[in-house]
Amino acid sequence: MSADATTPARAAPRSQAEAERAFHDDDPTARGTDWSLLGRLWPFVRPYGLALTVSLVLMPVASELLVTQPRLLRTIVDEGIGRGDLGLVHRTAALLGALMVAEFVVRFVQQYLLQLVGQRAMTDLRLHVYRFLQRQRMAFFDRQPIGRLVTRATNDIDVLGELFASGAVTAVGDLVTLARIVVAMLVFS
């Protein structure tokens, strides 16, 4: 796959001045809400939509595997140990162990896919910024503070990478798990 195939198609700026303003806007939130800013990242994430979808689908699966474990512990204690049925204790403990391994595998695959999407999208974004800088004339670099250019090209993209690594998507997964735990507690009680 060529580098051009991973770069999202965007409309070319009308002028050099417009390109500079777009690249160096000090307050990008003034142009829209957080959702619209996240929407501007979508062209970089879209090529990896399948992996992102699988990762998002695995979140509730992992939550369900986690919430099922206390039920099995209740079965072990109440029915297995309470009745003295060691066969039930062994079978349920084996099932509990299998569920723990399955939860680990599902969470690993989910996090791996999420990180993969994040890293590849940030690579595409870095390539896009690099190509933008390469197309600029020398006068552009004379007018722009070098520190700002370096920050835009490195630190700002790293911050966006953190969004995938430990940010919003992981928080959504934690909220799904929390909601499922609350529901399970209400059902058990």
CA distance 166 to 177: 16
Instruction: Please state whether the predicted TM-score (pTM) of the whole model is above 0.85.
Output: no
Q: Which residues of the chain have pLDDT under 50?
A: 1-12, 27, 29-30
CA distance 25 to 152: 10
Residue 133: partners with Cβ closer than 8 Å, 6 or more residues away: 149, 153
Q: How far is CA 181 from CA 63, 110, 148, 186, in A?
A: 8, 19, 45, 9
Q: What is the pLDDT of residues 74-98, one digit of tens each?
A: 888 888 888 888 899 999 999 999 9
**What pLDDT is recorded for position 5?**
45
CB 23 within 8 A of CB 95: no
**What pLDDT is recorded for position 9?**
46
**What pLDDT is recorded for position 143?**
87
**What pLDDT is recorded for position 14?**
59
Find the radius of gyration of the CA atoms of the chain: 24
**What pLDDT is recorded for position 29?**
44
CA angle 144, 145, 150 (to 5 degrees): 105
